Structure 1
Amino acid sequence: MNEYELLVYEEVEEWKRKLTRRSGMMNRISKKAQGKINEWILEKVHEVMTESIKGMVKATLLGSKVTTNKNQAEGLTLAERDELARKKISSYQKTAVVEGAGTGAGGILLGLADFPLLLTIEMKFLFEAASVYGFDTRKYDERLFILHVFQLAFSSDEIRKHTLSEIENWESRKLVLVEMDWRKFQQEYRDYIDLAKLFQLVPGIGAFVGAYANNNLLKHLGETAMNAYRIRLLQKTPEL
């Protein structure tokens, strides 16, 4: 492997160490509180929310599959793919900032619209990231991988470690994975963003909070996607 690939390998290893560290106390307390709230919610409500998000995500996946330029990174080196990925992240951060500021400034009704809009932006970005790193999202297992990247970015400590293991061993795991655990998928995502966007509906500061939170969420998702695809491209420990 060349020097750049060695550098990337080291970056990925450092990212994995950070990713698997235990969350801070505030995040752990928040997760525990959210877990209690989820226990109080009626099972029928959970079922409705799960089916709603499942339908929303699948519709977004279908639309993104059609609109993504699948040949945009053909023939590029890993360094060139990384640079293109960073440009995509920056572009989608700007889109998310505008969306978050607009819905945050619009009060409760527009604030409620933020969830599906942000989800659409995030899924569209993940399709772009897959294309940048040379993976064909027309294949079912690649769309399933996208959902695992999403879950890796927005989940609690235990789920994050498990999902990272799935991604590191994707070539074997994809043979036995049939479908996402949609209940887990939607609960982990909601719990994660609830804390990040807690004050978005507050008049006067909603626009700022929405813009700031969305910018950070896309930055985090971008870093996660880059490194998840790098893991798949770097199949073994590089040697000088």
Structure 2
Amino acid sequence: MSGRWAFPKLGSMPFAPSFAVMFRTRDNVRIDAAHTPSRGADDLGIVLAHGFTGSLRERSTRRIAHVLSGFGGVISFDFRGHGRSGGESTVGDLEILDMDAAVRHARAIGYTRVALVGFSMGGAVAVRHAGVLGGVDAVASVSAPARWYYRGTRPMRQVHWAIEQPLGRWIAKVGKRTRIMKGVWDPLPLAPYEAAAKISPTPLLVVHGDADAFFPLDHPYQIYEAALEPKELWIEPGYGHAESAATPELIRRVGEWVTTRS
């Protein structure tokens, strides 16, 4: 942990100050992160995970970290291949190791309860982490896909083009600072809905908007129906996709859920 404050404000809008952090995964990838100390429960750490091509430095992610810090300390981080983190994005597979490093860091700095809050790809990784690796106290998955290779919407066809085509990967690298692996998964990772079946008895919250342009409502229902109790499903009227569409009121509700369930 560095001794300087990172991201104290954005323009004229003050955010809760955060410390810059760096840690390494079990496969030795450097992960760039930030710790926003708690303005709420001192024993609760919230690991906040962004979506594909996102970053902890984006305004929407910083706003979410600020709101969640009213409920517990927040560890936000850039997945591998994103921003200032090392490695290449595996688009939801090895990212569970990035999240695990953030969980271990939260434990190491004194948080006795650790909850995961992930958006889109980060939501899928949160479900997969809890189902495959475990060791957390609550999971909130927001706007996440239930299964791999979904191409049923135009935005997801564009995402797959960026992942699969050399020009798409170059544009993602230059335009979004996202470095994406070449080739295909081998073996195929456990799908989020399959991992959801392994989370219990850890509480799971699935949040999805009925105006999500990336993943239609069969995705949250598939995750929710695969999971065992305790679980909750929130279908949010008018909510679009992931961090950029999440209102402070929705994030506060997620923070309240995490506080009471973890």
TM-score under structure 2 normalisation?
0.27
TM-score under structure 1 normalisation?
0.28
Instruction: Name whichever structure is richer in strand by fraction.
Output: 2
Greater length-normalized contact order (CA 8 Å, ≥ 6 residues apart): 1
Instruction: Name whichever structure is richer in helix by fraction.
Output: 1
Q: Rg larger in 1 or in 2?
A: 1
